[in-house]
Amino acid sequence: MPAAKAEQIANRIKELPPLPLVVQKLLQVVGDEKSSAKDLTQALEADQALTGKVLKLVNSSFYGFSGKISTLSRAVVILGYSAIRNLAMGLAAYDALKKMKSTIDWNLFWSHSITCAGGSLGVAKRLKYSDPEEAFIAGLLHDLGFFVLSLVCPDEFKQFMTSDYRRDLERENELFGANHAEIGMRLLEHWKLPESLCRVARFHHSSKHTTSEEEPLISIVRLADIIASVKGNFFIEIAAKEMVAESLGTAGLSIADCTKLLAEIDRHVENTRAFLQVADGDGTLHSSDLKGNEIATVAVVSSVKERQEWMQALLQSFGHHVVAASTLSPDAQDRQTVNLAILDAMGLKEEPMVKLAFLLRSKNIPVAILHEDTEHELDVPADLLGFPEISFFFTQADIARFLKGTV
């Protein structure tokens, strides 16, 4: 049965319409060392609708230029060949997908995609990657295999997405005879997009490729995908903490670097919304549906500065208010209503942590024990084994479950 589904998926991809000819022409022009800015401009001007969107995007908050760029030739000079090509590819791909009758949750899909795209752009710039716009588009298109699955196997895909059973590549192979990474690569190949983008789609879950310094684009998108998953907009389950640590190590980033990166990514993601607003001409996508969960007040208790700052940055990136541990004291002058307290098993001594946990429980304040660091689990005091635990790389969905009392 899975083999039959895999064949059905492969055949359906072959039937999908190609991207506009202008995209193929742009790829040819950019790949030709003898081409000029005039050649690129002429190629893009063959599609006036796409030209208009590119100009609108260039003048949006996505780039934030202070002056008006009124001509395509000027945009090409300022942004360069690669940036224009990548923007055109992204806009054309979005338009092609919007015309297909898919049952996928459109807002959830693009919420994850733009978070990964913005994250890829942020990581690429921090690592001084040579083509940040390529990283942006790679992040935007990395999960298109999910779109195809929803198109070809709508009932099975809905069941996969709503089931409490695990969501990973192995499970996808069991249900569909293929997984979204393989399928996404096939779609991008069908569209004749650059090999670098096809390889990102295929290998962004492969530890062999995401931890290899030979293909930095895959590593960049993988790290951004993890951050997008942490921020709560995800289709597949978040990577194991070991792979998170590997991804950070491959990128040469520490937890402190990642903490700073969170704020940068939030800015990039906000600007990325401008990309989708331009791409989504008729308002199919509702920006209000791309927002996060309810806002809460969370107290973080740890004596390790780096860990405390990571948790604060992560919670703030979810939109939550973070308060100091001192607000939990009965004598605190700045005492506030706290919806959740996170106690760090690594950053606190056993006796005071146990006392604080039971004090908070007596006041009906939910408590989560942070039980691991980036590489291994920590020993939680026996007295606290009845308290729910939370991972160091906790997600927005994890916090939502604590706030709803479902943990």
Q: Render 46-57 in DSSP notation, one character per residue.
A: TSHHHHHHHHHH
CATH classification (class only), 297-404: alpha beta
Rounded Cα distance between 175 and 153, Å, is: 10
Residue 340 confidence (pLDDT): 93
Token pair belonging to 21: 């000819």
List of residues 6+ apart from 387 with CB closer than 8 A: 357, 361, 367, 368, 369
Highest mean pLDDT among 100-109, 146-155, 275-284 belongs to 146-155
Residues 236/168, Cβ–Cβ less than 8 Å: yes
Residues 78/69, Cβ–Cβ less than 8 Å: yes
| Count of residues in the chain | 407
Q: Of 5-9, 127-131, 223-227, 250-254, give the lowest mean pLDDT range.
A: 250-254
Residue 245 confidence (pLDDT): 66
Residues 112/143, Cβ–Cβ less than 8 Å: yes
φ, ψ at 323 (rounded to 5°): -120, 160
Residues 101/280, Cβ–Cβ less than 8 Å: no
Over residues 114-120, the mean pLDDT reads: 89
- In one-letter notation, the amino acid at residue 135 is A
Residues 263/313, Cβ–Cβ less than 8 Å: yes
| 343 pLDDT above the threshold of 70 | yes
* Position 217 confidence tier, pLDDT thresholds 50, 70, 90: very high
**8-state DSSP, 33:** T
Would you list the domain boundaries of the chain? 17-99, 102-290, 297-404
Residue 335 confidence (pLDDT): 61
Token pair belonging to 375: 């590489």
Highest mean pLDDT among 138-147, 224-233, 361-370 belongs to 138-147
Percentage of the chain beyond pLDDT 70 is 87
What is the tens place of the pLDDT at every residue in 8-42? 999 999 998 888 888 888 888 888 888 888 888 88
Rounded Cα distance between 384 and 358, Å, is: 9
Over residues 122-136, the mean pLDDT reads: 90
β strands within 134-244, DSSP E: none
Q: Of 111-120, 132-141, 235-244, give the lowest mean pLDDT range.
A: 235-244
Highest mean pLDDT among 173-182, 244-253, 266-275 belongs to 173-182
Q: Is 95 left (phi over 0), alpha (psi -120 to 50) or beta?
A: alpha
Residues 276/94, Cβ–Cβ less than 8 Å: yes
What is the tens place of the pLDDT at every residue in 276-314? 777 776 555 554 444 455 788 999 999 888 888 888 988
Report the CATH architecture of 102-290: Orthogonal Bundle (1.10)
Residue 136 burial class via C-beta count within 10 angstroms: exposed 0-12, middle 13-18, buried 19 and up: buried
Residues 141/197, Cβ–Cβ less than 8 Å: yes
Rounded Cα distance between 291 and 224, Å, is: 18
Rg (CA), the chain: 23
Residues 153/192, Cβ–Cβ less than 8 Å: no
Residues 30/85, Cβ–Cβ less than 8 Å: yes
Residue ranges of the alpha helices (H) in 231-381?
241-250, 255-279, 305-317, 350-362
Rounded Cα distance between 125 and 160, Å, is: 35
Residues 213/226, Cβ–Cβ less than 8 Å: no
| 77 pLDDT above the threshold of 60 | yes
